[in-house]
Amino acid sequence: MSDTVNEQLSACLDGELPEAELDLLLKRVARDQELGRTLGRFALTGEALRGAGAVRASASFADRVSAAIAAEESITPRRVSRINPSVMRWLRPAAGFAIAAGVATVAVLSVQTTPAPEPELVAQAPASVSSPVAANDSYVVPANTISNFVPATRLTNYVVAHSEYSSPLGMRTVLSGVLSEEDEAAEAAASSDSADASSSSATEAPRP
Amino acid sequence: MMLSRAKNWLFLCCLLTGSAYAAEPDAKQWLERMTRALAEQNYEGFFFHVRDERSERMRIIHRVDKGNVSERLVSLDGSGREIIRNASEVICYLPDRRTVLVEKRSERSDATSLLGGLPAYSQSLEKLYEIEKVGGVVKTLGRKTQILSVQPRDQYRYGYRLWLDQETALPLKSQLCDRQGRVIEQILFSEVNLRERIAADDLKPAVNADGFTWLRQTTQPVVVASMTVGWTVIRLPAGFKLTERRVQAIAGSDVPVRHLVFSDGLATVSVFIEPRDMQAQPMRGLTRVGAAFAYSRDLEGHQITAVGEVPAATVEAIAAGVMRDDANDDAAASKPDQAASASSPPP
C-alpha cells in the first residue's frame, strides 16, 4: 500500500482531509478490503493514543469551534468543550458500517454548552395541569433547601439502584450524573458520611 | 440550515400547548428504533456529558453477547469513576472516595436485560408527552440525522431533544430539557464505533481498587410478601403509576429496603423506604445527583427517599405522598418500637 494512501487515511482520521479527497478515499475503502483493515488499525491506534490522556485541538479545529459557536442558537455559550479533533468527519457509510475491519468510525462535532436552569423551573404556576397534586403545588424550591444531610454514598446507592428501572436514555443520564457528581456534594456530606461509615462498617468486605 | 430550524422549533414550542395532538406514528417508530439500538448494538465511543457549566468527557463501551448486555461507563476527566453493568451486578468504582459499590441486579432486569426498560408507547404516553419529528433529515455535522422532540405537557417530567443517526438510530446528541425547552443536560458523542464484537476484556475496570472499601449487599433480601406492602403513595403526579414493588438489599446496609418504582412510561421515580438508623442524622430535603433529584424525609421511624430523573417538584410530590397503608399493615416486618419513639408528625 502506498504511503500516499496511508497519509490520506491518517489525515482522514485527523479530520484534515479535504472533502474531495475524502470522497475518493471512501470509495477506495469500499472497494478495497485491505484498505478497510488499515483504516481499522488507524482508528484503533488513534483510540489508543486518545486513551492516553491529553486532548489537543488543532488550529483549524479551534476555528471551526469558533465558527460553530458564532452560528449556534442565541443561548449564551459559557464554555467551549475541548473536543478531540481526531475524528472530525463522519466516514460516509459507503460500505455501510460493515467496513472490512469491523470498525466504522463516526463522529459528531458539537461545541456548545448551555447553561442549565436552576431549580427555579419548578416555580412556575401549576397552570392547567390536571394533576391531583396541582392544587398544593405552588411552591418554590429555594436554593438553600438543597440539603447536606444525605450521606453521599447512601444516595449514590439509591441512584444506582434506581437506574436499573430507568429507560435507556434516563439510565445514561442518571449514571453519567453519578460519574460526574460534583465533589462538593460528597464533601458537604462528609460529616454525616462518618456516621454512615460506622453503621456500614459491618458490611465492609475486602476485595475478593 | 439546522440552526434556524432550531430557532423555529423553539418558537413552535412556545406556541404549542398541551392540546391533545397524537404523536406521528413515524416519530414513535423513531423512538422505538432508538431504544432498541441503544440496547441491542455493540458500540463504544466517547461523549461529553454537559451540565451547568461543566463538561466531562466519558467513554462508553456497550457489549451485547448472547443476549446479555454489559456496559462500561468511564469518566475520563477528574474523578476517574467507572460504572460497569452486567447481567447480574452494577459495580461503581469511586476512586475519589476509595469506595466500590456493588449492587445486585434484580431478577426482573435479568429476564429483560436485552430490552430492559423499553418504554411502552401508548395513548397515555401521548397524553403526557408530545412526540414529534422536527423537520426532515438534517445533515448534522456531516451525518444524516433526524431530530426528534419529546416534549412534556406538564412540569412533572422532563423532555428530550434527540439527534438520531438516520442509519443506526443511535442518539448522537441528546438534550434533556424542561417544559420550557431549556436544556438541563446534554450528551454529545464525539465518536461512536459500531463493532461486530466487543472483547470481554474491554469491560474490565481501569481502576486499581486495592485497599478500597467494598460495599456489598451482605444479606440476601428476604422477600416476604408482607414486606412489600404496607406503604403506599397518594396523590401521584399525573401519569405516574406503580410499576414495581420489591424488597432489596442495598450495598452498605444490612436492612432490606423497600423499593417502589413509579413510571409514566418514559420517566421513572424510585421510592426507597427503610427503617431509620436512629444513631444517624435523618436525611431530609432535596439533593441533586447530576440531572436527577432526590427528596428525603423521615416518617414514622423510616427514612423515605424519592429519586428520579425528573424535576424537583416531582420527587418532592412523590415523597410527600408516601404513607403507611393501614389496609396492608406490615408492622411485623418493621420495628414498631423504633417507630413509636421516632415518629414525627408529617409537615
Residue B211 covered by a domain: no
Express each pLDDT in B21-40 by its tens digit: 455 568 888 888 888 888 78
Does any CB of chain A come closer than 8 Å to the CB of residue B69?
Answer: no
> Cell digits for A123?
416555580
Does any CB of chain B come closer than 8 Å to the CB of residue A69?
Answer: no
> Cell digits for B51?
451540565
Neighbours of A36 (CB within 10 A): 21
Q: Do B6 and B140 lie in a common domain? A: yes
Classify the C-alpha dihedral B155-B158-B159-B163 as positive or negative.
positive
Contact by Cβ (8 Å): B185, B346: no
How big is chain A, counted in residues? 208
Minimal C-alpha gap between B330 and chain A (Å): 23
Most A-contacting residue of B240, B283, B322, B323 (CB-CB within 10 A), to test interface: B283
Please tell me what DSSP assigns to residue A90: P
Cβ-Cβ contacts under 8 Å for B333 (sequence gap 6 or more): B224, B226, B227, B230
Contact A106 B193 (CB under 8 A): yes
Cα distances from B85 to residues A177, B36, B68, B105, B203, in angstroms, run 15, 18, 11, 9, 9
Q: Do B112 and B14 lie in a common domain? A: yes
Residue B347 covered by a domain: no
Residue for grid cell 400547548? B17
Report the residue of chain A nearest B255, measured CA to CA.
A200
Minimal C-alpha gap between A155 and chain B (Å): 8
The per-residue pLDDT for B71 is: 92
Contact B194 A104 (CB under 8 A): yes
Instruction: Give the structural domain span for B159.
Output: 2-203
Q: With bands split at pLDDT 50, 70 and 90, how would you rate the model's confidence at B106?
A: low
Contacts of B195 in chain A (CB under 8 A): 102-103
Domains in chain B, number: 2
Q: With bands split at pLDDT 50, 70 and 90, how would you rate the model's confidence at A152?
A: low
Q: From the centroid of its chain, how far is CA B250?
A: 17
Express each pLDDT in A18-32 by its tens digit: 556 655 665 565 556
Contact by Cβ (8 Å): B187, A175: no
Q: Do B143 and B19 lie in a common domain? A: yes
Over residues B186-201, the mean pLDDT reads: 88
- The C-alpha R_g of chain A, in whole angstroms, comes to 25
Residue B100 covered by a domain: yes
Residue of B118, B122, B167 lying closest to B146 (CA atoms): B167
Where is the domain boundary, B159, B178, B203?
A: B203
How big is chain B, counted in residues? 347
Over residues A86-105, the mean pLDDT reads: 30
The per-residue pLDDT for B318 is: 96
Q: Do B180 and B40 lie in a common domain? A: yes
Where is the domain boundary, B156, B176, B203?
A: B203
Written in H, E and C, the secondary structure of chain B is CHHHHHHHHHHHHHHCCCCCCCCCHHHHHHHHHHHHHHHHCCEEEEEEEEECCEEEEEEEEEEEECCEEEEEEEECCCCCCEEEECCCEEEEEEHHHCEEEEEECCHHHHHCCCCCCCCCCCHHHHHHEEEEEEEEEEEECCEEEEEEEEEECCCCCCEEEEEEECCCCCEEEEEEECCCCCEEEEEEEEEEEEECCCCHHHHCCCCCCCCCEEECCCCCCCCCHHHHCCEEECCCCCCCEEEEEEEECCCCCCCCEEEEEEECCCCEEEEEEEECCCCCCCCCEEEEECCEEEEEEEECCEEEEEEECCCHHHHHHHHHCEEECHHHCCHHHCCHHHHHHHCCCCC
Q: What is the CATH number of the domain that holds B197?
A: 2.50.20.10
Contacts of B185 in chain A (CB under 8 A): 116, 173, 176
Q: Pick the most confident of A81-95, A108-122, A176-190, B131-145.
A: B131-145
pTM of structure: 0.61
The per-residue pLDDT for B189 is: 87
% of chain B at pLDDT higher than 90 = 29
Q: What is the CATH number of the domain that holds B299?
A: 3.30.200.100
Neighbours of A179 (CB within 10 A): 24
Where is the domain boundary, B176, B203, B230?
A: B203
Residue B322 covered by a domain: yes
Q: Where are the domains of chain A?
A: 3-97, 145-201
Residue of B127, B142, B138 lying closest to B161 (CA atoms): B138
Q: Torsion angle of alpha carbons B220, B221, B225, B231, nearest 10°?
A: 180
Chain A, 153 to 182: residues with Cβ < 8 Å from chain B are 153-182
Does any CB of chain A come closer than 8 Å to the CB of residue B178?
Answer: yes
Which of A78, A131, A149 is the closest to B53 by Cβ? Answer: A78
Looking at per-residue pLDDT, the higher value among A139 and B330 belongs to B330
Express each pLDDT in A6-20 by its tens digit: 566 555 444 455 556
Residue B210 covered by a domain: no
> Cell digits for B164?
438520531
Contact by Cβ (8 Å): A152, A193: yes
Cβ-Cβ contacts under 8 Å for B169 (sequence gap 6 or more): B30, B33, B34, B36, B37
Chain B, 189 to 248: residues with Cβ < 8 Å from chain A are 189-197, 209-210, 212-218, 235-238, 243-244, 248
Q: Do B60 and B184 lie in a common domain? A: yes
Instruction: Show the CA angle centred on residue B266, arms to residues A121 and B44, nearest 5°.
Output: 100
> Cell digits for B115?
430490552
ipTM of the complex model: 0.79
Residue B208 covered by a domain: no
Q: Is the pLDDT of residue A207 over 80?
A: no
